[in-house]
Chains A and B, each alone.
Chain A
Amino acid sequence: MTTSAQTPKLSLGLWIFTAGVLFFLFTPVLIALPLSFNPDPFFSYPIRGISLRWYENFLFTDMWRSALKNSAIVGFGTVGVSVPVGILAAIGLSRLGPKVRALGTAFILAPMIVPVVITALGMYFFFSKVGLTNSLFGLILGHSVLATPFVVLIMSATLAGYDHSLTRASASLGARPLRTFLQVTAPILMPGIASSAIFAFVTSFDEVVMVVFLAGVDQSTLTREMWKGIREDINPTILAVAMFMVLVSVGGLSLLEILRRKLERDRRSAA
């Protein structure tokens, strides 16, 4: 008998309530996004047919194209900075004694605690003194600070399941540390690394506050253009962009979930 089978029966009222809440969580996006296929620039049903004109607008307008390009550059840049930095940090943390490790972890996870508005404000102050506002690199650094804690968390969990005797075996067979890392450690950690990369990319891709504080017109990203559009006058093109962002984020994170499950299965079968 499983635990859940033993619980008192869930009443009908509870189920109806739950269904209502899940409906509340799920439907707004589900109802709004199909309007991006509406041939008319209205937000109402029924729609006359299916049209891709708002998607064309998104893909063939200079403003949206450059925003898409910037989002991609900043997203991949964030992966490029936060993933190596986070992997190394997780390795470093795993070698520390329990007390120092707790302290180090708290330090590295601190950006998750501080509201992004505050971090963004501080970056705006400091970066404008060193010429990093209105620069894609400044944005990459900002997003990396937000993404690195997640990379460290994912990689620490991955490393916890790593068998260190493999490293020693490789070293005793004469492999140098770099070679050991590339040929022994990295392949085992691959699902974790891939998850980190996806998470870092999505974190950057969806981020709004830092972009609003730090980016100038030339660094505008998809989120910044959406932010501007929503503030001024929400139009169907924004829904087309929203659909695109949902596909990237939900797609990426679903992939991550699949990787996580694979990692868990591997670990269980290894143990």
Chain B
Amino acid sequence: MSLHQHAFNPMQRYARVLPLVPAALLLCFAFLIPLGSILFWSVSNDEIRNGLPSTVKALQQWDGRELPEETIYRALLVDLATSGSSSAVSVAAIRANYERSGFRSLIGSTARNARRFDQLNAKNSLIQFDSRWGDIEIWRIIARNSESLTSYYYLTALDLQQTAKGQIERAPADKRIFVNAFFRTLSISMSVTVLCLFLGYPVAFCLAHADPKVANVLLALVIVPFWTPLLVRVAAWIVLLQREGLINESLSFLGLLTRGHELQLIYNRPGLLIAMTHVLLPFMILPLYSVMKNIRSDLTRAANSLGAKPWRAFLDVYLPLSMPGVTTGALLVFITAIGYYVTPELVGGSGDQMISHFIAVYGTEVANWGQAAALGTLLLIAVLFLYVLYFPRMSASMAVK
């Protein structure tokens, strides 16, 4: 018997997990490696090391108190002259420019003239060419980014910056955009969750306790919009709410509005909240419904027969029993909302953009991958945190189902 097990078990074990291999490969290639590359880009800092290798090496000896010595200026000239205007140098210039605007053009113009400088008197001739080479800050930025890892993108994502001396302080007011965006994301998601709960709870109650035939029809009325593609729903809201849209046209047709005084119903916060609530409401109603359907009504009736007023029976008996549905629904709506990109992009105003907007802009338009990656990682951490926090409750409500 034991021989039998030893002989066959390993083979059987492999054969057992074999069907999982394709899924594992797909997930690795199109999910885990992509997420890993986000983490990588959020801290990766090879641009300046690769673009200015001799300078970085020479700067290792520098203490950062006074302007670098002649040898370091010479190393810079070597880097710029040997590479000309190669892509590594321009990538390094773009990276340096994140920390100080104008850095890119400084490196660019210096590189174009690199061969003309006096090799033996590099320091003076460089400072003569552009006085910024005599600014110690410029050198500190290069020195600070000699490491292959950086916290720059995370600091920026939290509206922080590193001073010349390495201390962390708040970024200047005009550069503080991300913390606001995070708070805006949370506040929009919170508002949408509250709206969905307020609208969804009574509907789910009706659905759960109406006559089954009526309830089926009502359920279909919830599910069909749920099945309607997101873009179609967003397009419908724009058609309804825009300046020349149905609502404004109808109001002016009825004489309630004069031309030129149309209501601004979209591309602002209320428009965004309306559209997002519309999209996410089924996510609230369906879990609530599935919990409420299983609440035994004799409990409420018992409360009633013991003399409790209907409201009291509801608050003390029904509401606590329906809480698992409330938690699941609220969590589902909130988590989905904080990652929303399409709806705010299409129906929000410029002041209503959520964090995903910045992830997309930095990732694909500005091509500042590090910044997009750091923002994405922070959003991902927030989502995972919510899941971990609420997962036990979620599974509890699933068990109720």
Contact residues of A with B, CB < 8 Å?
A: 2-4, 6-8, 10, 14-15, 17-18, 21-22, 24-26, 28-29, 31-33, 35, 42-45, 81, 84-86, 88-89, 91-93, 95-96, 104, 107-108, 110-111, 113-119, 121-127, 129, 141-142, 144-145, 148, 152, 205-206, 208-209, 212-213, 223, 226-227, 230-231, 234, 238-239, 242, 245-246, 249-250, 253-254
Contact = CB atoms under 8 A, between A and B. Distances in A.
Nearest to A140: B30
B249 interface: yes
Contact of B235 (A115, A234, A253): A234
A108 B31 CA distance: 10
Given A10-B210, A144-B26, 4 more contacts: A28-B236, A141-B30, A230-B231, A230-B235
A21 B20 contact: no
Interface in B353-375: 356, 359-360, 363-364, 369, 372-373
Nearest to A2: B212
B80 interface: no
Contacts of B212: 2, 4
B339 A115 contact: yes
B64 interface: no
B contact residues, range: 35 or more
A31 to B, nearest CB: 6
B114 interface: no
Nearest to A122: B34
Contacts of A212: 360
Interface in B220-240: 221-222, 224-225, 227-240
A237 to B, nearest CB: 11
Contacts of A152: 23
A26 B219 CA distance: 12
B246 A14 contact: no
Contact of A121 (B20, B27, B38, B208): B38
B363 A245 contact: no
B356 A117 contact: yes
B225 A25 contact: yes
B363 A6 contact: no
Interface string B272-307: 000000100110000000000000111011001000
5 closest residue pairs by CB, A with B? A115-B339, A122-B34, A92-B19, A92-B20, A89-B23
B81 interface: no
Contacts of A111: 27, 31
Contacts of B235: 32, 226, 230, 234, 238-239, 242
Contacts of B190: none
Given A14-B206, A89-B22, A4 B211 contact: yes
Contacts of B37: 122, 125-126, 129
B319 interface: no
Interface stretch (B69-77, B197-205, B254-262): B197-205
Given A28-B237, A206-B230, A6 B297 contact: yes
A39 B239 CA distance: 16
Given A4-B211, A28-B237, A22 B222 contact: yes
Nearest to B239: A32
SS of B interface (majority):
helix
Contact of B19 (A4, A15, A88, A114): A88
Contact of B373 (A7, A121, A145): A121
A249 B35 contact: no
B233 A29 contact: yes
Interface stretch (B87-95, B157-165, B174-182, B379-387): B379-387
B135 interface: no
A43 B235 CA distance: 12
B19 A125 contact: no
Nearest to B224: A250
Interface of B: 16-23, 26-27, 29-31, 33-38, 41, 199-200, 202-203, 205-212, 215, 218, 221-222, 224-225, 227-240, 242, 244-246, 249-250, 253, 278, 281-282, 296-298, 300-301, 304, 310, 313, 335, 338-342, 345-346, 356, 359-360, 363-364, 369, 372-373, 376, 379-380, 383-384, 387
A245 B229 contact: yes
A4 B210 CA distance: 6
Most B CB within 10 A of own CB, among A35, A92, A115, A245: A115
A246 B249 CA distance: 25
A29 B236 contact: yes
A45 B240 CA distance: 11
A116 B232 contact: no
A115 B31 contact: no
Contacts of A96: 16-17
A116 to B, nearest CB: 7
A118 B35 CA distance: 8
B300 A7 contact: yes
Contacts of B244: 42-44
Contact of A115 (B33, B203, B380): B380
B40 to A, nearest CB: 8
A25 B275 CA distance: 10
A144 B222 contact: no
A119 B296 CA distance: 42
B202 A17 contact: yes
